[in-house]
A and B are shown apart, each in its own frame.
Chain A
Amino acid sequence: MVDGTETFILAQARAGNRDAFRTLVDRHSRAVFRVAYRVTGNEQDAEDVVQETFLKAYAELPRFEARSGLGTWLHRIAANCAIDLLRKRPRKTISHDDQDAAPLVQRLASPEAGPERQAQGRELRARVQTAMADLTPLERAAFTLRHLEQQPIDAIAEALGQNPAATRHSIFRAVAKMRRALKPLMRT
């Protein structure tokens, strides 16, 4: 939410006040990192994206229209920076490793939560990460902004330079791919 203080700080930052911009960096860095991490899938890339996002935001700030909150705007920039970064590099190949999947699910379903189960939880998370890594940058970005940031489709489409139908389809593909990747782990 944009409160009165933030409006004031924002106006100062737009007018070129660096201390004001620094305050915005302070306030938003962690949230921007989370978006960056979700789209890039690793810490080092996410760090690069965070820096890139704020440099870009500083340059674009005079053109920022407060239609959406500053956070929302920053997260869209971050998603775009992440896409750019991922597109610049050759696609990583990720090895799939389906062994033990089914037994794991059965054990996950059991009620006790001992160390063994925690280890299984880690494996499940690793699989989610792998599934995310298999998405295209655009799919990851669209999915992140929609499902995890709750942004409206039209706004995401505009931010990513797509039409809304294409954005819907990117999001659908992201979910469908992850569903297939996680299916072996799901209790049915």
Chain B
Amino acid sequence: MAHSTEEQLVAYALDDVEAGTRAAVEAHVEACAQCRMSLEEIRATLDHAAALEIPERGDDYGAQVWTSIESRLSESRSSEGSHPSTSARLPVRLMPWLAAAAAVVLVIGAYWLGRHNTGTSGAPQAPLTAQVPSSPPRGTDAIRERVVLAALGEHLDRTERTLVELVNSQPGGRVDISAERAWARDLLEANRLYRQAAGGATTPALSQVLEDLEPVLLEIANSPSRLTSDEFETLRDRIEARSLVFKVRVTGADVRARQRALMRRGESQS
């Protein structure tokens, strides 16, 4: 009888063989002392390799790793590929109005910087300045500001509607939140874009609202489409505890007020 090959024995020892080969190897090894010895050696080799001592890392190792990578994280996500804009990675499903949001990201940094950094000399530079191609001429600037405000106002309106619908759902048996969930998924992507844009700029109220929204939108987006009344009430409590609807409404109103002020200024200049 031909001996088993070393390859067969290794694959057998690693449990990487099909049933037929397995049976053949087993039958042969049973009868052949030489192959039995080879198999034992292979198994011992595998055991020794598995027993290799690995230096221990303490409970705080994760924190150490985090400290060493934290400052490099943003470059790691934005430098991938050749697209400077986040829109390159967005799912196609979301594209139509998210594309608008993504476009806004490029100008929003310029807007907030231009608008708010003039008076506050100590304000930190927003990281987005690097992405803003060049400082646009005055007229374009005003148009961009209006685009940004309109998009933000729209975003806040949609978010408010979604939250209001959710909060006003009647818990009785299971609550179907599939519509709100779908909205939340889309809003989440947009919210992230706006957050990135407004992130380093000097608008604490707006930044804060966008930041507060994120975990809640996430939770809605990741909820099952039908909630038990307990689950639903937990979710609703979380939204209400942060006074989110109120904050979103107030911020939205503020954005629209700025939008109107800008339009008046534009009319008086022309």
Interface membership of B221, Cβ < 8 A: yes
Asked if A153 and B52 make an inter-chain contact with CB atoms under 8 angstroms apart, the answer reads no
Q: Is B11 an interface residue (CB 8 A)?
A: yes
Choice from A11, A28, A125, A168 contacting B221 with Cβ under 8 Å: A11
Known: A59-B76, A147-B49. A176 touches B11 (CB 8 A): no
Check B77–A132 contact: CB distance below 8 A.
Answer: no
A1-42 residues at the B interface, CB under 8 angstroms = 7-8, 11-12, 15-18, 21-22, 25-30, 33-34, 37-38
Which residue in chain A gives the minimum CB-CB distance to B75? A55
Q: Which of B30-69 contact A (CB under 8 A)?
A: 37, 41-42, 44-46, 48-55, 57, 61-66, 68-69
**Most chain B C-beta atoms within 10 Å of own C-beta, residue among A15, A55, A148:** A15
* B196 located at the interface, meaning its Cβ lies under 8 Å from any Cβ of chain A in the complex: yes
Known A-B contacts A18-B73, A26-B62, A54-B69; the reply to A128 vs B16 at CB < 8 A is no
Cβ contact within 8 Å between B55 and A125: no
User: Is A178 a contact of B44 with CB atoms below 8 Å?
Assistant: no
Main secondary structure of the interface of B (DSSP, over half): helix
Please, how many angstroms separate the alpha-carbon atoms of A33 and B65 in the complex? Answer: 10
Contact with A along B1-43 (1 / 0, CB 8 A): 0000011001101101000000000000000000001000110
Most interface-central of A34, A63, A178, A179 (chain B CB within 10 A): A179
C-alpha gap A82/B96 in the complex (Å):
40
A147 contact from B7, B50, B57, Cβ within 8 A: B50
**A15 neighbours in B (Cβ, 8 Å):** 188-189, 192, 214, 218
CA distance A11 to B196 in the complex (A): 17
Question: A162 on the interface (CB 8 Å rule)?
Answer: no
Q: B83 at interface (Cβ–Cβ under 8 A)?
A: no
A125 CA / B46 CA spacing, docked (Å): 13
Nearest chain B CB to A128's CB is how many angstroms away?
5
Q: Does A109 contact B (CB under 8 A)?
A: no
Interface contacts (Cβ under 8 Å), in number, total 126
Contact A54 B65 (CB under 8 A): yes
Decide if B72 is an interface residue (CB 8 Å cutoff).
yes
> Is there a chain A Cβ closer than 8 Å to B222's Cβ?
yes
* A43 / chain B contacts, CB cutoff of 8 Å: 55
Cβ–Cβ contact B49 & A178, under 8 A: yes
At the interface with chain B, which of A64-72, A89-97, A180-188? A180-188
Residue contacts A-B, CB under 8 angstroms, 6 given = A8-B219, A29-B62, A37-B54, A146-B16, A172-B7, A178-B49
List chain B positions with a Cβ less than 8 A from chain A: 6-7, 10-11, 13-14, 16, 37, 41-42, 44-46, 48-55, 57, 61-66, 68-70, 72-73, 76-77, 79-80, 89, 188-189, 192, 195-196, 214-215, 218-219, 221-222
Q: Which 4 A-B pairs have the closest CB atoms?
A: A26-B62, A29-B62, A55-B76, A179-B45
Additional pairs, 18, CB under 8 Å, beyond known A11-B221, A29-B65, A172-B11: A8-B218, A8-B219, A12-B215, A12-B218, A15-B189, A16-B77, A17-B214, A17-B218, A34-B54, A58-B76, A59-B76, A128-B51, A132-B52, A147-B14, A172-B10, A175-B14, A175-B42, A186-B44
